[in-house]
Structure 1
Amino acid sequence: MGMDALIFDRDVTFWYETLRSLGHIAYGGADFGEVMATAQRIVEGDYDSWHDEWRATADRVAAHAERSLAAGHRVSARDGFLRACTYYRSAEFFLHANPSDPRVTDAYRRGVRCFRTAAELSESRIEPVAIPYGDTVLPGYFYSAGDGRTPRPVVVMHNGFDGGAEEMHFFGAAALAERGYHVLTFDGPGQPGAIHGQGLTFRPDWENVIGPVLDHLLAIPGIDPERVALLGASMGGLLAPRAAAFEPRIKALVAFDGVYDMGAAVAGHFGGDRDAARAALSAESAPEIDEVLRELMAGDPVMRWAFTHGAWVTGARSPREYAARLLDYHLRDGIAERIACPTLVCSAAEDFAFAGQPEALYAHLTCPKTFLEFTAGEGGGAHCQSGAQRLAMARIGDWLDETFGETCTASADSGASPAFTALATS
């Protein structure tokens, strides 16, 4: 995973989620002592224990922030609310096998409330937005740079399988806002704000999500339509490229990290025959497959969590139906080849979730492309470079700076920027 486990060495999910919180320290989303003191109280593999300890820490930190705010200490209050937001997100993370559990909704709402209060207290302009989407809206945040009169580049960002727009503050929004970019973060279908608020589940045709988001964005004064980037984190490293393949208004793409085919492992169990896999998994009754999935979930902590969370966010009625739905999430059949804008594919050398997927995506791209691997030796080998956010955002930000700097003065079909040619092999 890019860093030896400091704790939870028998449960990769518990350790990764701890590392994920530790990574958010870089942009004010956690404190080392708070994270480790909480983790040390948790019973490994026990979801209730995980919730109870993170919820206790979140409540304590939020209460301190409230007292700071009441006393007029705005900076302390802002910092506390940002940390509490992370801890509330963590508290409900493993409870999604039963999404109607009141602990899930309560912790989620408290986390959002903490983030919005922190945003109000921030020196940066961070405004909640409601993006029209069909007959409803998608929630998000707009980070405004400049005075709105001079057109500036913008980065649209979204999370992946299990994270929300609030977390994107620590996964890139704060970093790119520092560089002078407008930033728009949002939750699409299947992501926390949309599934909690409207019951919207994931859809593979993500271009039909990004389209309305761009309609909303480009109506905001001060946006340069020729410098619109899209960044997708984790599973967003598949969804964002899917959107870019069909949405020409995207002028630069960051797959953080890259994903080519979410259904590859599922199809592999059927010899690569996707039609056979779909038929077997979609059958009205398949007790032998159900038993295999139960054993897989019982013996693998990653599968235990992923299949229960995945069923909720995709609208599947069972782990088997969830596995079938994964087959629809891919960039096969010429989709990746349709992407025309400059694309940065990030890769984590020890990614436990998507090993080999960034390489597969990169191999299928025909656009100007750059491959950027983060290694364990530099501390960035974990999924989405958790634990190395400053490192990751420096390199991603530099690529965006140089890509958009070139497109201002040169044709958009030029290759990767000179500073990155050593990493590109196209």
Structure 2
Amino acid sequence: MTENGIVETGKNHVFSSGRSSTRYFKDGYFDYNFEKFLGLATYSGAEIAECFETAARITDGDPESWIQAWTSTARRVEAYAENAMKGGHKVSAREAWLRATTYYQAAFFFTLHKDPRKAELYQKHTSCFQSAGKLFDPPYEPLAIPYKGKSLFGYFLRCDDKPRPTVLIQMGADGSSEQIYFSGGGAAALRRGYNALIFEGPGQTGTFMRDQSLNYRHDWEVPVKAVVDYALTRPEVDPKRIALIAYSMGGYFGPRAVAFEKRIAACIASGLVPSMKALAGKRIEDIKKAASIGKFPHPARWALYEHMPKYGFNNGIDDLEKLEAVWDTFNLYGLEDKITCPLLVVQAAAEGEEQTRIAKEFFDKLPNPHNKFRLTTEEDAAEMHCQKGNAMLLHAIEFDWLDDVLA
């Protein structure tokens, strides 16, 4: 807290506190997210110079300038894709649409739930990705996975028509299926001969944007069962080699799902979240302090007005105690003997010693001898949350392990 009483949750953000951070923005939450989107260049999801040119037009810590700058870049790159396609230049069009996908998501990210621009930016984000997906061989398939009379959003990416090992990939609280293609292993899976079924469960971005009655639930095995049921209808999926990869808040969702869904042969979590309350740490108290003086830094506004509706709460600070009660149910303790499939945990050091300690203590109670705990550090240039900025290393760790345990 500063001398004037403002809680600065955007400063020195834990996710961007390591050496591999760009340090482009003084605002830590801006810097982490800039690093996140810049890192998608690894799989053609961004261009480095385009990202830095955009950043130069952003006022540090001002979400509105962030939204406007990324929207402008996205529109320009999308227009290039459309013109390239009209001229029959399919590779150029595909590459530009992939980059526009990311730039629209960057704008979408800091646009709050009730902002009328939110839906338009999200629609642009997905339409650019789907335009690019049509130009791959085989094409990427958008999915509406049957779920309790409704549907979960996602994509199926296949190498060919042969039965192959398949990774089910999900994000956590604030990504998208399209982002996961770049950062979460979708493109990396195809390079290694795996199919990828990328999905978003209830409360997650793509599913929530399509049906806001579908909120987060603690019993994540229910939506994952629907995803596995769908996967097993695909002749391209080897039913004995299905793995689940889950990121961020997915570090709770993934292990929870495999405690009950035994058709999954292996699970990867980046990183492990035994308790949602433990993951939140002191952030709830920071938000309460901000409320007491009537000033919310943008990370607090994001948590209240963007994240909480996905739990079914829409009244911001007034629902904070209800959210804490819900988080009590997002808890892996007591399930240790049920998480029996091989589990790889890739934990990021910049999340802090306390988070690493909690994750490792829980991990050490799990029974499978093929389990592995990998801490990524500054020396790896992969210390940031979900190894942002070093996707190549992350995917090498993940898929090399999967090659061994699924062999």
- The TM-score with structure 2 as length reference comes to 0.88
**Does 1:81 find its partner at 2:75?**
no
Pick which of 364-373 and 229-238 moved more. 364-373
What is the CA–CA distance in structure 1 between the aligned matches of 2:379 and 2:286, rounded to whole Å? 40
Asked whether the 8 Å contact 2:104–2:124 carries over to 1, the reply is yes
What is the CA–CA distance in structure 1 between the aligned matches of 2:294 and 2:359, rounded to whole Å? 25
For 2:326, the aligned partner's letter is: R
Q: Deviations over 1:11-50 (max 9, x none)?
A: 2110011000111010110011111111121111211111
Q: Which residue of 1 aligns with 2:6?
A: none
What is the CA–CA distance in structure 1 between the aligned matches of 2:296 and 2:88, rounded to whole Å? 51
What is the CA–CA distance in structure 2 between the aligned matches of 1:338 and 1:296, rounded to whole Å? 45
Structure 2: gaps of 5 or more residues: 1-15
**CA 1:299/1:5 → structure 2, altered by over 3 Å: closer, same or farther?**
farther
For 2:228, the aligned partner's letter is: L
Q: Which residue of 2 aligns with 1:14?
A: 30
What is the CA–CA distance in structure 2 between the aligned matches of 1:341 and 1:262, rounded to whole Å? 22
- 3-state DSSP of counterpart to 2:56: helix
What is the CA–CA distance in structure 1 between the aligned matches of 2:151 and 2:203, rounded to whole Å? 13
**Does 1:365 find its partner at 2:371?**
no
Q: Which residue of 1 aligns with 2:386?
A: 384
Asked whether the 8 Å contact 2:342–2:405 carries over to 1, the reply is yes
In the TM superposition, what is the alpha-carbon distance from 1:290 to its structure 2 partner?
8.0
Matches within 5 A, 1:300-339: 302-316=299-313, 317-319=315-317, 320=320, 321-332=322-333, 334-339=334-339
Q: Which residue of 2 aligns with 1:416?
A: none
Asked whether the 8 Å contact 1:267–1:327 carries over to 2, the reply is no
Q: Which residue of 2 aligns with 1:197?
A: 210
In the TM superposition, what is the alpha-carbon distance from 1:362 to its structure 2 partner?
1.5
In the TM superposition, what is the alpha-carbon distance from 1:54 to its structure 2 partner?
0.7
In the TM superposition, what is the alpha-carbon distance from 1:323 to its structure 2 partner?
3.3
Pick which of 392-401 and 122-131 moved more. 122-131
Identity of aligned residues (%): 37
Matches within 5 A, 1:88-103: 88-96=104-112, 99-103=113-117
In the TM superposition, what is the alpha-carbon distance from 1:145 to its structure 2 partner?
2.3
- The TM-score with structure 1 as length reference comes to 0.84
What is the CA–CA distance in structure 2 between the aligned matches of 1:365 and 1:31, rounded to whole Å? 41
What is the CA–CA distance in structure 2 between the aligned matches of 1:118 and 1:297, rounded to whole Å? 44
In the TM superposition, what is the alpha-carbon distance from 1:139 to its structure 2 partner?
1.4
**CA 1:354/1:313 → structure 2, altered by over 3 Å: closer, same or farther?**
farther
Asked whether the 8 Å contact 1:242–1:336 carries over to 2, the reply is no
What is the CA–CA distance in structure 1 between the aligned matches of 2:245 and 2:294, rounded to whole Å? 31
Asked whether the 8 Å contact 1:162–1:192 carries over to 2, the reply is yes
What is the CA–CA distance in structure 1 between the aligned matches of 2:99 and 2:352, rounded to whole Å? 26
What is the CA–CA distance in structure 2 between the aligned matches of 1:225 and 1:243, rounded to whole Å? 17
Q: Which residue of 1 aligns with 2:355?
A: 355
The size of the alignment, in residue pairs, is 382
For 1:378, the aligned partner's letter is: D
- 3-state DSSP of counterpart to 1:41: coil
What is the CA–CA distance in structure 2 between the aligned matches of 1:51 and 1:401, rounded to whole Å? 40
In the TM superposition, what is the alpha-carbon distance from 1:74 to its structure 2 partner?
0.5
In the TM superposition, what is the alpha-carbon distance from 1:296 to its structure 2 partner?
9.3
Of 240, 244, 250, 2:258 maps to 244
What is the CA–CA distance in structure 2 between the aligned matches of 1:303 and 1:14, rounded to whole Å? 13
**Does 1:133 find its partner at 2:147?**
yes
Asked whether the 8 Å contact 1:260–1:360 carries over to 2, the reply is no
Pick which of 79-88 and 362-371 moved more. 362-371
Q: Deviations over 1:267-294 (max 9, x none)?
A: 889xxxxxxxxxxx9xxxxxx9985352
Q: Which residue of 1 aligns with 2:376?
A: 374
Q: Which residue of 1 aligns with 2:198?
A: 185
Asked whether the 8 Å contact 1:259–1:354 carries over to 2, the reply is no
**Does 1:210 find its partner at 2:224?**
yes
Of 155, 159, 164, 1:152 maps to 164
Q: Which residue of 1 aligns with 2:180?
A: 168
RMSD of aligned alpha carbons: 2.3
Q: Which residue of 2 aligns with 1:285?
A: none
- 3-state DSSP of counterpart to 2:373: strand
Q: Deviations over 1:182-234 (max 9, x none)?
A: 11001111111111101121111100010111111101113221111000011
